[in-house]
Amino acid sequence: MKTKTFPHGIHPPEGKESTAEKKLEVLPPPEKVVIPLHQHFGNPAELLVKKGEEVFFGQKIGEATSLFSASVHASVSGKVLSVDGHNHPLGKPVLSVTLANDGKDRVFPEWEDTVDPLALEPDQIRKKVKDAGIVGLGGAAFPTAVKITPPKDKPIDTIIINGCECEPILTADYRLMMEYPDEILKGAELVRIATGADRILVGIEDNKKKAFDLLQQKAASYSAEVFLVKTKYPQGAEKNLIYALLGREVPRGGLPFDVGVVVQNVGTAKAVWDAAKTGKPLYERALTVSGDGVKEPKNLIVRIGTPFQAVTDCCGGLSEDVNMIIMGGPMMGLSQWALDVPVIKGTSGILAWASPRPIMEFACIRCSRCIEHCPMGLVPTQLMKYVKYEQLSNAENWGALDCVECGSCQYSCPAKIPLVHWIRLGKNQIMSQKRKKSA
């Protein structure tokens, strides 16, 4: 079978060997968890608890009050120690609930099993997903309930389950596929029912042949088709994966809805199944702890709100020379300035290494490698120049807002220009101009 793929893209070093064959371990819940009310794309959840209150394991502590939001839940049982601004992986302090773990995991009484989740109605599935506060676990943390509620005028025919894990180093999704194939496929089936789609396609990069074989073997009983896609970054980017598997192009500024597709990460599919089956909210997630600076790289299942420090301690700690901590993958992850930030729903990995001294930036020599590698067909060097010289309308015409910030351009830039940074700045400026105009 020919492996499917998309045009352009890059081949960064994979670095998955150190954790690929390490089974997911459950990290014991820490003594204290910090649960930010804002862990997702959209608006923060509204606070439901007070300082000093006792909460159950799995109790809702933040309510999604608007459409683009997701509820948050207590990941341990215990007392609310404080409700205040706390360091957050995204950089700014965010209103967070700090819980003291009483170690009893007293389960929230509202959790209830469903005997046959596959018999649920679409509306029931959506309600369960919303109640469980599920968001996209690939990293962008887009509220899943919104994603499985397509607008009436946009019929969905295909569900794509994203098992690419194209970010180097990360292996948590691979482990999920190896250890929970049935849950993933059943979760995909629930998504299919909720959206009224006809078929499920699973895309897995060909460096994860074992996961492909396993899922293909299971897929027959779930009416899903499994495809190998080429190992190339960013194969798992939503729009590129849709193109690779279906040859459909999501229109500029559009969503996968526009071409009749819903894409879900494998971890999200599993979370959907768990929520439907046991009523359990999203209180934990799988992540990879790796990088040269981590003494014992591992794949872990971690309670949301666990401080990074507790996670790295469990992996043998960090080496002395570590000077960089990244949440997520090396291509799109966010560097952290402290280890007291909590694991949030979008934390797909924690990486640590000793970063070499930054290399001096050269002037752009117009080698056009950024153009050659941009998976969106943009001209990063031109966008960079437009932003630098404040020609925002030109930047917009040349597709600044189409940039997915995958970093392929900057990766391949021989002049070491921070292209993504410039484009991101431009996107922010364009958006704030638009907001001003509409206000």
CB 44, CB 37: distance < 8 Å: yes
412 counts as binding another protein under rule CB under 8 A: yes
d(CA 157, CA 59): 35
Number of alpha carbons in the 13 Å side-chain half-sphere of residue 154: 16
The residue to which tokens 């509820």 are assigned? 71
Computed on alpha carbons and rounded to an integer, the radius of gyration of the chain in Å comes to: 21
Binding mask 245-274 vs another protein (x if CB under 8 A, - otherwise)?
----xxxx-x--------------------
Euclidean distance between the first and final Cα of the chain, in Å?
53
Binding mask 379-408 vs another protein (x if CB under 8 A, - otherwise)?
x-xx--------------xxx--x--xxx-
51 counts as binding another protein under rule CB under 8 A: no
Neighbour tally for 263: CB within 10 Å:
26
12 counts as binding another protein under rule CB under 8 A: yes
Binding mask 346-375 vs another protein (x if CB under 8 A, - otherwise)?
-----x---x--xxx-xxxxxxx--x--xx
Q: Which of 280, 290, 286, 279 is nearest to 304 (CA)?
A: 286
**What's the token pair of residue 283?**
């209180």
149 counts as binding another protein under rule CB under 8 A: no
431 counts as binding another protein under rule CB under 8 A: no
Torsion angle of the four alpha carbons 375, 380, 383, 389, in this order, in degrees rounded to the nearest 10: 160
Report the site for another protein in 214-243 (rule: CB under 8 A): 239-240, 243
The residue to which tokens 């768990």 are assigned? 274
For residues 26 and 365, which CB has a smaller minimum distance to another protein in the complex? 365
For residues 69 and 207, which CB has a smaller minimum distance to another protein in the complex? 207
Contact with another protein (CB under 8 A) among 17, 121, 340, 390: 340
Long-range contacts (CB closer than 8 Å, 24 or more residues apart) made by 391-394? 392/426, 392/429, 392/430, 392/433
316 counts as binding another protein under rule CB under 8 A: no
416 counts as binding another protein under rule CB under 8 A: yes
CB of 432 to another protein, least distance (A): 18
Q: What angle do CA 53, 58, 63 make, to 5 degrees?
A: 75
Binding mask 154-183 vs another protein (x if CB under 8 A, - otherwise)?
--------------x---------------
d(CA 210, CA 238): 23
For residues 126 and 369, which CB has a smaller minimum distance to another protein in the complex? 369
323 counts as binding another protein under rule CB under 8 A: yes
Q: At what angle do helices 122-131 and 181-195 cross, to 10 degrees?
A: 120
**What's the token pair of residue 21?**
């064959």
CB of 371 to another protein, least distance (A): 6
Report the amino acid identity of residue 208.
K
26 counts as binding another protein under rule CB under 8 A: no
295 counts as binding another protein under rule CB under 8 A: no
- Residues of this chain that interact with another protein (CB under 8 A) are 10, 12-13, 168, 239-240, 243, 249-252, 254, 309, 322-326, 328, 330-340, 351, 355, 358-360, 362-368, 371, 374-379, 381-382, 397-399, 402, 405-407, 410-416, 418, 420-421, 424
